[in-house]
């Protein structure tokens, strides 16, 4: 603010620098700003004495954080989480990412209209445009992964059934006789009375053999999913998760380092 003494020239009337001061008496807490220091600059050497009152306005960080940074950060997290959706649900993954992109574009338009218009990029513009770019990268990755998944050949059901069949040695094995079976001696077949006690098989040994056989049959029927090689689109999904996460971390570290320092 500029105050000029027009009633007399500076040869007759000047401002007293030792006794003149400016005080802001209103509410310093505004909607988007708060009033800082008030400085005074005197220009008594001009034809008419001039006093400049400088009022410092500082932007309130809470308003920007609550209305811009937190919503945009949540949209980025939602877009990143679409990389963890089921790969076969392409429509769900793309719709979630596109919705986040549209909301981010609306947020950017709203924030730009409330900020002062400048010919250079503000840090708010850098943040919002970078967020839109990240969501766009995620959509491109979803599209590429889905195309690779459709182009990749899949195994036929006959091949899967062939993997689940029992081995020859297990499927052709003889049935075990029940435990506690009494085997007569050779003399009993000729009508002679057995002279000693009947031979009884050990039940504990036969029980372990039965459990072992059942376990082998169960394992043979289950396809080896844990040891199968990963498909190409699965490798791309893992790479996309790591790539996008690393990109977001690097960008946030760089951005906030410039803002805070």
Per-residue burial over 206-242, b if 16 or more Cβ lie within 10 Å, else e, is beeeeeeeeeeeeeeeeeeeeeeeeeebeebbeebee
The partner residues of 208 in beta bridges, in order of sequence, read none
As a whole number of angstroms, the distance between CA 212 and CA 180 comes to 19
pTM of the model: 0.59
What average pLDDT is seen over the chain?
Answer: 75
pLDDT for the residue 206: 64
Q: pLDDT for 149-181, tens place per residue?
A: 888 766 544 444 444 444 444 444 444 444 444
Give the least confident one: 49-63, 126-140, 217-231, 239-253.
Answer: 217-231
Extended beta strands in 50-198, E state: 50-59, 182-183
The first and second tokens of residue 103, run together, are 């909301």
Q: Which pLDDT value is given to residue 106?
A: 93
Q: Where are the alpha helices (DSSP H) in 115-226?
A: 123-151, 157-164, 168-171, 203-221
Scan for tokens 């919503």, then name that residue: 71
CATH fold, domain 62-152+232-260, is Methane Monooxygenase Hydroxylase; Chain G, domain 1 (1.20.58)
Domain regions of the chain by residue span? 2-59, 62-152+232-260
pLDDT surpassing 60 at residue 209: yes
Task: Give the Cα separation of 44 and 46 in Å (integer).
Answer: 6
Which H helix or E strand runs over 109? helix 90-114
117, two tokens: 């218009």
247 SS3 class = helix
Q: For residue range 125-141, list pLDDT tens digits in order.
A: 999 999 999 999 999 99
Report, as an integer, the average pLDDT of 24-52: 77
Range 152-159 contact pairs with CB under 8 angstroms and sequence separation of 24 or more = 152/231, 152/232, 152/233
DSSP, res 166: P
* pLDDT at residue 39, rounded to an integer: 78
**Does position 190 have pLDDT exceeding 60, yes or no?**
no
Residue 187 pLDDT > 60, yes or no?
A: no
């Amino acid at each position: 603010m500029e105050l000029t003494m027009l009633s007399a020239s500076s040869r007759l009337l000047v401002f007293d620098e030792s006794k003149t001061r400016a005080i802001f008496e209103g509410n310093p807490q505004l909607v988007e700003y708060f009033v800082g220091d008030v400085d005074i600059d005197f220009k008594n050497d001009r034809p008419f004495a001039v006093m400049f009152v400088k009022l410092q306005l500082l932007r309130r960080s809470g308003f920007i954080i609550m209305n811009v940074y937190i919503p945009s950060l949540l949209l980025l997290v939602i877009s990143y989480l679409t990389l963890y959706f089921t790969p076969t649900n392409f429509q769900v993954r793309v719709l979630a990412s596109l919705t986040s992109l549209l909301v981010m574009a609306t947020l950017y338009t709203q924030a730009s209209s409330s900020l002062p218009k400048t010919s250079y990029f503000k840090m708010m513009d850098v943040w919002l445009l970078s967020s839109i770019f990240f969501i766009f990268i995620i959509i491109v990755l979803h599209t590429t992964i889905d195309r690779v998944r459709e182009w990749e050949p899949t195994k036929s059901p006959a091949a899967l059934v062939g993997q689940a069949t029992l081995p020859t040695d297990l499927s052709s094995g003889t049935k075990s006789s029940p435990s506690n079976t009494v085997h007569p001696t050779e003399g009993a077949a000729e009508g002679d009375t057995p002279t000693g006690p009947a031979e009884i098989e050990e039940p504990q040994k036969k029980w372990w053999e039965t459990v072992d056989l059942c376990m082998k049959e169960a394992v043979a029927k289950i396809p080896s999913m844990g040891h199968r090689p990963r498909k190409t689109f699965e490798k791309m999904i893992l790479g996309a998760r790591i790539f996008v996460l690393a990109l977001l971390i690097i960008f946030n570290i760089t951005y906030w380092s410039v803002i805070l320092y």
